[in-house]
Amino acid sequence: MLLALLLAATVLGPADVESLTKVSDAVVHAQVMRRSSAWAPGGGQIFTTVVLRAIEIWKGDPEREIAVLVPGGEVGELSQTVQGAASFADGEEVVVFLHRRAAGVFQVERLSLGKFSVAERTRRAVRDRRLISCEGCQPSETDDLPLDELRARVLSRARR
C-alpha cells in the first residue's frame, strides 16, 4: 500500500461528476477508434494520440472524431509510463471529461479521474483511481454508477 502511494500521481480535486463537468470544455460518451504514440517535438517524452468517435456529446462542441493527447506510450522498443494517466484500449467505450489543449486537440481532465469506462453488459460507468492520490477529493465521490445516471448528472450540471 505504501509503495502504491509513493508511485501515485497527485491530482487536485474535487473530482465528483458535477465538478468535473463544470471545469471541462467537453464531456463525451465515445468509442476508442485508434491510438498512436510518438515522441513530443524535441524528444524526451512520448505522447499517445487517442482518436475517439463520439456516440453522444453531453457538453461542448467537439467534432464527432476527437483527438485526445495522453502522456506516455510506446515508440518502437521504448515505452514510457506516466502514473495516473488515463489509459485507453481500441474499441473501448468511455465517457471522458476533456480540457481543450489546442484547436481540435484535447486532454483528459485530472488524469484518469476524468475517464470512465463503460461496461457493455451492465451499462455501468466505472472510474479507475489506482495510482492517483487526490487532494481535495471526497470519499463520497462516485466511481461506479449506471451510465444513464452519469449522463443525467452531466447534463444537469452542463445546463447551469
pLDDT tens digit sequence for 52-79: 999 999 999 999 999 999 999 999 999 9
pLDDT in the model for residue 139: 86
Pairing of β 115-118 and β 124-126: antiparallel
CATH number, domain 2-158: 2.40.50.120
Give me 111's grid cell: 488524469
pTM of the model: 0.92
Residue 155 pLDDT > 90? yes
Determine contact, residues 84/11, Cβ cutoff 8 Å. Answer: yes
What confidence tens digit (pLDDT) does each residue in 88-109 have?
999 999 999 999 998 889 999 9
Q: How confident is the model at residue 39 (pLDDT cuts 50, 70, 90)?
A: very high
Residue with cell 515505452: 79
